[in-house]
Amino acid sequence: MAKTPVRFTLNDAEAALFVDEGANLIDVLRRGAGDLSPKQGCAQGTCGACTVLIDGQPHLACLTLAETVEGRRIDTTGGLAGGPQLHPLQTAFMEEFAAQCGFCTSGMLMAAKALLDRQPSPSRDEVAEAISGNLCRCTGYEPIIDAVMRASQRMRGAA
């Protein structure tokens, strides 16, 4: 099978890989680049577990043809923390018990990050809208919304 070269920025580092024709981005990130932080759930765009940011905007890695990210910037949960220093969203998710089994967490964090980058002080409705493409079968969503609200406050220095 022919391989296609693709280069992109992954969490501030340059990545250059050969990908199979038709490979999706989630496989290339996990198996090729070794970033296991984005999860593959449904592989059909329903669950949002594979949400990553492409040029700052949330995308579903499982439905992205890997070779289309040539030259683009990809951010995953793997790049959120700065060394031992967790991102405020990660800290707030722990404090608010916003993760139980944890499978949706990586996608939730990226969807929430895209929101806070664009709208630093969202309403609860805006948070619900931002994570509306991400399924969670454990928490009932309210703790996740609480966590995003808390992270938003903290990032603005309000609490």
Partner 1 sequence: MLSVQTCATLDEAARQMGDRTRFLAGGTLVMRGVNYADPSFDRIVRARTMPCEIRSDDTGLRIGAGATMADLLAARDAEILHPVARMIGGPAVRNMATVGGNLFAAHPYGDLATALLALDARVEMAGGATEPMETFLAGRDRQRGLVTAVILPRVTASEFRWAKISRVKPKGVSMLSIAAWLQGGSRITDARIAFGGMGPTPLRAKAAERALRDRTLDPAGIEGALAACLDGLAPADDALASEWYRREVAPVHLRRLLLREAR
Q: In this complex, which beta carbon is closest to partner 1, that of residue 84 or of residue 117?
A: 117
Q: How far is CA 5 from CA 24, 76, 80, 98, in A?
A: 14, 21, 27, 38
Q: In this complex, which beta carbon is closest to partner 1, that of residue 46 or of residue 94?
A: 46
- Torsion, CA 127, CA 132, CA 133, CA 137, rounded to 10: 110
CB of 84 to partner 1, least distance (A): 29
User: Pick from 61, 48, 42: which is nearest to 141 by CA?
Assistant: 48
CA 133/CA 89 separation, integer angstroms: 18
CB of 59 to partner 1, least distance (A): 5
Q: In this complex, which beta carbon is closest to partner 1, that of residue 80 or of residue 114?
A: 114
Which residues bind to partner 1, rule: CB under 8 A? Answer: 1-2, 4, 21-22, 24, 43-45, 48, 51, 54, 57-60, 62-65, 67-68, 111, 114-115, 128-134
